[in-house]
């Protein structure tokens, strides 16, 4: 059971990696105004400082 779960997890990681690569999503090193605080997806932030 644990083995199957691990394989499912592994496939999930690969799928996420592939999707992120395709859409250009990336764990960014900037973009501090992200609304979610996680500079991964485009935040769509409106406004300045």
Partner 1 sequence: MSELKANCPSCGGSVVFNAGSSIVVICPYCRSAVARTDRGLEDLGKIAEVAESESPLKLGLKGVYRDARFELTGRAQMRHELGGTWDEWYATFSNGWVGWLAEAQGRFYLTFYQPMQAGTTLPTFDGLQLGEIIAQIPAQSPLMVQERGRATYAAAEGEIPYKLTPGEVFEYADLAGKNNAFATIDYSIDPPWVFVGSQVILDEIGLGDAKPVKREARDVAATAMSCPNCGGPLSLTAPDQAERVTCPNCGGMLDVNNGKLKYLKTLRPPENAPSFVAPIGAEGAFADGYKYKIIGAVVRSVTIEGIKYYWHEYLLYNSMIGFRWLVHSDNHWNFVVPVNPADVTPPQYIVKLQTATYNGKQYRVFQDAMAVVEYVKGEFYWRVEQGETVRAIDYVKAPEMLSQEISPNEINWSLGTYMPVADVEKAFGISDLPKPWSVAPNQPFTGRFYYTWGMLPLIGLLLVAIVMLPMTSITRTAKNQQIVLPEFTAPPPTGGPGQIQFSEPFDIKANSNVRISVQAPVSNSWADIDVDLVNDQNQEIESVNVPVEYYSGTDSDGSWTEGSTSSDATVSSLPAGKYTLRIEGTWQDWQKPMPIQIKVEQNVNRGVNFCIAFILLLIMPLLGIMRKLSFETARWKDSMFTDSGSDNSDDD
Residues 10-29, one symbol each (x = binds partner 1 by CB under 8 A, - = not), give xx-xx-xxx-xxxxxxxxxx
The residue among 32 and 37 lying less far from partner 1, judged by its C-beta, is 32
The residue among 29 and 37 lying less far from partner 1, judged by its C-beta, is 29
Q: Which residues lie below 8 Å from residue 7, measured CB to CB, with a gap of 6+? A: none
Distance in angstroms (rounded) separating the CA atoms of residues 18 and 31: 22
Residue ranges that bind partner 1, judged by CB under 8 A: 3, 6-7, 9-11, 13-14, 16-18, 20-33, 39-49
């Amino acid at each position: 059971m644990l083995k199957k779960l691990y394989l499912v997890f592994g496939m999930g990681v690969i799928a996420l990696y592939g999707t992120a690569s395709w859409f250009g999503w990336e764990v960014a090193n900037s973009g501090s105004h992200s609304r979610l605080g996680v500079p991964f997806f485009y935040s769509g932030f409106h406004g300045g400082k």
